[in-house]
Amino acid sequence: MTLKEEFATRNFSIYAQWLGVLSMILCFALGLANCIRFNILLIAFAVICLVSSFIILFIEVPLLLRICPTSSGFDAAIRRISTNYMRAGAYGVMALVQWLSIIVEATSLIAAAVLLTATGLCYLLAGVKGQAFVGSKTLGGAGVAQMIV
């Protein structure tokens, strides 16, 4: 299935998975960019944003759990986030943390919060509509990991 065919399925979990990849890139970039601030609280939110980007990477690209040497506890925690509702909750928590950064100062971390919220809403819509989670083959879902091992 090509990327165009995946988007044509109108499955919100695929849309959310690709928004998650964009969220990961944005969280990484904005986390780095905001680490140079002189406000210790903003640096803390930037570091949380950076950590979120790596968590998203392992959530959205399941192939990495087989390739990268990680602990069994980390693997088990990431594998628990497998349903649309669990992913929506995870993105909701990450978005809430970034929204809370506004309390300290309005920075570019708001963009990360907006995109994380949109991703969580797409996963929530997929769950509400009863759509099963479908992993993108491009990102290592649907048996790609088994072909490599």
What residues make up the domain containing 23? 13-140
4 occurs within a structural domain: no
6 occurs within a structural domain: no
Q: What is the mean pLDDT of residues 1-17?
A: 71
Share of the chain above pLDDT 90, in %: 49
pLDDT digits (tens, 9 = 90+) for 53-69: 999 998 888 778 778 88
Q: What is the mean pLDDT of residues 28-40?
A: 91
3 occurs within a structural domain: no
Alpha-carbon gap, residue 77 to 65, rounded angstroms? 11
149 occurs within a structural domain: no
Alpha-carbon gap, residue 137 to 95, rounded angstroms? 26
54 occurs within a structural domain: yes
Q: How many domains does the chain have?
A: 1
Q: What is the mean pLDDT of residues 1-22?
A: 76
111 occurs within a structural domain: yes
* Residue 149 confidence (pLDDT): 38
5 occurs within a structural domain: no
Q: For the whole model, what pTM was predicted?
A: 0.83
Note whether 142 and 23 are within 8 A (CB). Answer: no
Say which residue the tokens 């088994």 belong to: 146
> What's the 3-state SS for the chain?
CCHHHHHHCCCHHHHHHHHHHHHHHHHHHHHHHHCCCCCHHHHHHHHHHHHHHHHHHHHHCCHHHHHCCCCHHHHHHHHHCCCHHHHHHHHHHHHHHHHHHHHCCCCCHHHHHHHHHHHHHHHHHHHHCCCCCCCCHHHCCCCHHHHHC
pLDDT at 2 over 70: no
* Cα–Cα distances in angstroms (integers) from residue 30 to residues 51, 84, 95, 109, in the given order: 12, 26, 14, 6
Phi, psi of 5 (to 5 degrees): -65, -35
* Residue 119 confidence (pLDDT): 94
104 occurs within a structural domain: yes
pLDDT digits (tens, 9 = 90+) for 121-137: 999 999 998 887 776 66
Q: What is the mean pLDDT of the chain?
A: 84
Task: Decide which of 13 and 30 is more confident.
Answer: 30
